[in-house]
Chain A
Amino acid sequence: MICGLSQSSVRGTGKTAFLIHRKVTIGMKEKTFKKISIFLFLLPALLLFIGVLIYPIIMSVCYSFYDLRSVSTTGMQWCGLDNYKELFTSGSISFWRALGNSLLLAALSVFIQLPLALGLALMLGKGIKGERAYLSIYFLPVLISTVVIGQLWRKIYNPDYGILNAVLSLLGINNVMPSGGWLGNEASALWCVFIPTLWQYVGYHMLLMYAGVRSVSPELREAAKLDGATDAQVDWYVVIPVIKPIIKVSVIFAVTGSLKSFDLIYVLTNGGPYHATEVPSTLMINMLFLRNRYGMGSTIAVMLILLCFAFALLINWAFKEKDIYGKKEHVE
């Protein structure tokens, strides 16, 4: 309240008021001083932001129209949409396979990872003993470097000495490892890449949803309980509709995160075997390192940004309709 009041009093001193003033009107000298101050305050952030984010994005779009095969841009050839054409049609680049893989990862994330995270969040949200300890344990893998997790899971999947085979044989399951090893088999590799992702990021989505579950007002729960709802019904009809905005954020993160996924796949398989786990990011990095095709790399980057954007909008739109429906149910 105090804050709000003082703000309005500052605003009240006139449009040119610069914080609070001893004089209501300020002279030209002070005006320029204010302008210069604002500019200087913003300068470091603007330099970083424009230099590293805005300018490169614009250049990415530009480079995607050029046949750029070395870092010197003097002899680069304008090639129009050739990069895009090649990206969509060339069999050796296999962009569609990469896109399909990342979409499959996105679907797995949304339909396996998020329900699991939601389940954990709902269970934790009931106010059980040791809530914080569980929360901290679940969130732990999120903080560990993906490279460390990738290397760790390489060891877990190791065909000869890995812990996965040891655990399976302990459970009496033998000889289920596909030929070529877990990560070396074309059919199993993508699943084996998904499992560490699931393992690492369930905690993240759980944390977001848990924060939402805790913010559901106790009166709402109480009211439902008074009406005779069971715990499961309270979760389904009260809690989930209330935390829908957070679920939406989680879905957006899961989908765009899968589209952008790089670290874990680079460490585990680098897109192999035979493009079985190729995703657009690994494709992009390989374009730079193995083929020196900077133009094509930019093209993939541009496609990636567009796809992320499109999916974010799509998910937003999909949740909007459901929101209205959810509210309708609520009123009854």
Chain B
Amino acid sequence: MEKKSMLNSSVDLDQFQVQKTNKFVKVLIYIGLVVWALIDLFPIYWMFTFSLKNNEEVYGMNVMGLPKQWLWSNYERAMTTGNMPLYFMNSIIVTVCAIALCLIAALMATYAITRIIWKGSQLMNSFFMLGITIPVHASVVPIFITLSRIHMVNSRIALIVPYAAFSLAMAILICTGFMNDIPKDLDEAAYIDGCNVWKTFVMIICPLMKPALATITIYTFLQCWNELMFANVFISKNALKTLPVGIQALSGQHTTDWGPIGAALVIATFPTLLAYVFMSKSIQESFIAGAVKG
């Protein structure tokens, strides 16, 4: 309390001996930050370079430098012999469907929880928030058994539905935050003008939720695009493999040929990098939001 009052009453700050940051310490801080940045970037840089090299360069002639010849044919080979377009398309289909399903379910549920007044809405909210803490491991075995019994293993739905379900809690959390920011007057005005709940939801709330949808889309995209466990257990047919499983298969085939594998890794990472370049801030914020609540 004393400290506060001291600041409030305008005392002459110079009469206190404020410790200035030491120059030497400052330099050390910069060195530390730069070193870690290099450690972070170097493996990624190396991945890019060896995806463009031939084996001779990778195997000793030129291990770390930029490729002498930019071998784009590695990418061609990853595309043709490595089935990358197939895996890529599968990943896109599964991810897009999962995101759509998750968005619809989350928007509707959040509307019912935050905009309609009824007993148990808070309880329902806590029930959904349970989902943030549930690990995927918990449901792999039973889902696999159920899917095998109804002959749904090796189908896209086997991935889409679980992905949507496991992203749902996070999506509802983000949606709730955004929806609480929309003034309730809007709903009231719409109601007075003769809209019922459904019309209000579709015509008033949904258009205003675009920023929330963007955040949820990014978050769900990252979850689905990179997911391995479900994809690995539920999908064994080559035609349905998503990128993580496909890359595993690919590296099994090309153990000695590094170029095409590097190219495949770069191709798989490319959409994520693209999204990150344009939306780094909102991506980081969505991760922070998830952690603080979870």
Is B89 among interface residues, defined by CB-CB distance under 8 A? no
Q: Is the CB of A161 within 8 A of B117?
A: no
Q: Mark A117-147, 1 if CB is under 8 A from B, else 0.
A: 0011001101010000011111111111111
Q: Is the CB of A225 within 8 A of B116?
A: no
Contact A53/B139 with A144-B272, A147-B248 known, Cβ cut-off 8 Å: yes
Is A328 among interface residues, defined by CB-CB distance under 8 A? no
Chain A residues in 8 Å Cβ range of B92:
none
Tell me the complex Cα distance, A161–B226, Å: 27
Q: Is the CB of B101 within 8 A of A48?
A: yes
Contact A3/B19 with A45-B106, A140-B40, A148-B268 known, Cβ cut-off 8 Å: no
Contact A19/B64 with A124-B33, A156-B43 known, Cβ cut-off 8 Å: no
Shortest Cβ distance from B127 into A: residue: A49
Interface residues in A282-323 by Cβ distance below 8 A to B read 284-285, 288-289, 294, 297-298, 301, 304-305, 308, 312
Q: Mark A1-41, 1 if CB is under 8 A from B, else 0.
A: 01100110011000001111110000000000110011011
Q: Mark A200-220, 1 if CB is under 8 A from B, else 0.
A: 001110011001000000010
Interface residues in B1-33 by Cβ distance below 8 A to A read 3-4, 6-7, 13, 16-19, 21-22, 25, 29-30, 32-33
Q: Is the CB of B268 within 8 A of A56?
A: no
Contact A228/B17 with A145-B272, A152-B47 known, Cβ cut-off 8 Å: yes
Contact A20/B187 with A49-B165, A51-B165, A156-B43 known, Cβ cut-off 8 Å: yes
Most buried by A among B104, B169, B172, B244: B244
Q: Is the CB of A56 within 8 A of B138?
A: yes
Contact A34/B116 with A52-B139, A128-B30, A207-B284 known, Cβ cut-off 8 Å: yes
Is A72 among interface residues, defined by CB-CB distance under 8 A? yes
Q: Mark B223-244, 1 if CB is under 8 A from A, else 0.
A: 0011011001100000000011
Interface residues in B184-200 by Cβ distance below 8 A to A read 184-185, 187-188, 191-192, 196-198, 200
Surface stretch bound by A, among B68-76, B77-85, B129-137, B206-214: B129-137
Shortest Cβ distance from A264 into B: residue: B228
Q: Is the CB of B116 within 8 A of A18?
A: yes
Tell me the complex Cα distance, A53–B21, Å: 52
Among B161, B172, B276, B287, point to the contact of A207 (Cβ < 8 A).
Answer: B287
Tell me the complex Cα distance, A298–B137, Å: 9
Shortest Cβ distance from A293 into B: residue: B141
Is A222 among interface residues, defined by CB-CB distance under 8 A? yes
Chain B residues in 8 Å Cβ range of A253:
291
Shortest Cβ distance from A46 into B: residue: B109
Is B67 among interface residues, defined by CB-CB distance under 8 A? no
Interface residues in A254-302 by Cβ distance below 8 A to B read 256, 260, 262-263, 266-267, 281, 284-285, 288-289, 294, 297-298, 301
Tell me the complex Cα distance, A256–B136, Å: 12
Shortest Cβ distance from B91 into A: residue: A145
Q: How many A-B residue pairs have CB under 8 A?
A: 319
Among A10, A226, A267, point to the contact of B16 (Cβ < 8 A).
Answer: A226
Tell me the complex Cα distance, A11–B119, Å: 12
Chain A: interface residue total (CB-CB under 8 A)? 109
Is A230 among interface residues, defined by CB-CB distance under 8 A? yes
Among A63, A267, A285, A298, point to the contact of B248 (Cβ < 8 A).
Answer: A267
Shortest Cβ distance from A295 into B: residue: B141
Contact A151/B251 with A48-B161, A285-B233 known, Cβ cut-off 8 Å: yes
Shortest Cβ distance from B41 into A: residue: A137
Contact A138/B25 with A45-B128, A207-B288 known, Cβ cut-off 8 Å: no
CB distance from A304 to the nearest CB of B (A): 5
Q: Is the CB of B33 within 8 A of A120?
A: yes
CB distance from A237 to the nearest CB of B (A): 13
Tell me the complex Cα distance, A34–B139, Å: 34
Q: Is the CB of B109 within 8 A of A19?
A: no
Q: Mark A223-236, 1 if CB is under 8 A from B, else 0.
A: 10111111100000
Q: State the 4 A-B residue pairs at the shortest beta-carbon distance, nearest first.
A: A56-B139, A52-B165, A45-B109, A41-B112
Interface residues of B (CB under 8 A from A): 3-4, 6-7, 13, 16-19, 21-22, 25, 29-30, 32-33, 36-37, 39-41, 43-44, 46-47, 50, 58-60, 63-64, 101, 104-106, 108-109, 111-112, 115-118, 124, 127-128, 130-131, 133-135, 137-146, 148-149, 161-162, 164-166, 168-169, 172, 180-181, 183-185, 187-188, 191-192, 196-198, 200-201, 222, 225-226, 228-229, 232-233, 243-244, 247-248, 251, 258, 261-262, 265, 268-269, 272-273, 276, 280, 283-284, 287-288, 291-292, 294
Interface residues of A (CB under 8 A from B): 2-3, 6-7, 10-11, 17-22, 33-34, 37-38, 40-46, 48-49, 51-53, 55-57, 59-60, 63, 68, 71-73, 119-120, 123-124, 126, 128, 134-148, 151-156, 160-161, 163, 166-167, 199, 202-204, 207-208, 211, 219, 222-223, 225-231, 246, 249, 253, 256, 260, 262-263, 266-267, 281, 284-285, 288-289, 294, 297-298, 301, 304-305, 308, 312
10 residue pairs of the A-B complex, CB under 8 angstroms, read A41-B108, A41-B112, A49-B131, A126-B29, A136-B276, A147-B244, A151-B261, A260-B135, A266-B228, A308-B135
